[in-house]
Amino acid sequence: MNMQPPSPLPTGPAQMQVAFDRRELSVILSLYGRMVAAGEWRDYGISSLHDTAVFSVFRRTAEHPLYRIEKHPRLRGRQGMYSVVGMDGQILKRGHDLRTVLRVLERKLIRAVKPD
C-alpha cells in the first residue's frame, strides 16, 4: 500500500481572488483624487476576496467607510458586476459599466464643489 502524506496545496480548482484590474483602478482613483481635492474623502482601503473586490472610501482613517465600490464578477450576466454601496449597506447604484455606476458619487462631488 502506497500511503502519501496529504498535500498542503488544494487539489481541486484553484480558488482565485477577485481584484480590480489596472483600468478599473484608474477610473476609481481618478474619482478618488477629485474627491480628496474637494475635501470630501481622506483615505481608502482595497480588499480582494474570494468572490468580491472592494474599494472602501473613508472620510477619516478610523471610521466606517462612507462608500464601498464593489466588483462581483458572478453578477456580470444579471444586474451588473459593479455597485456602489452606502454607509448603511444600501446599494446606491449597480450596473455593467464602472464609469456609469460611479456617476452616483460624481453628483455628490458636483454638489460639494458648487458654491451656494
C-alpha cell recorded at residue 34: 477629485
Cα 89 to the center of its chain, rounded Å: 13
Q: Supply the pLDDT for residue 75.
A: 85
- Residue 23 in grid coordinates: 483600468
Is residue 89 in some structural domain?
yes
More confident of the two residues 63 and 103:
103
Query: Distance between CA atoms of 42 and 83, rounded to whole angstroms?
Result: 21
**C-alpha span between 79 and 55 (Å, rounded):** 19
Is 11 part of a structural domain of the chain?
A: no
Residue 8, in any domain of the structure: no
Q: Global pTM? A: 0.77
Q: Is residue 99 part of a domain?
A: yes
Q: Residues in the chain, how many?
A: 116
Could you tell me if residue 66 is inside a domain? yes
User: pLDDT of 4-47, one tens digit each?
Assistant: 555 454 444 555 788 899 999 999 999 999 999 988 899 999 99
Q: pLDDT tens digit string along 67-97?
A: 999 999 888 888 889 999 998 899 999 999 9
Tell me if 2 is assigned to some domain.
no
Domains in the chain: how many in total? 1
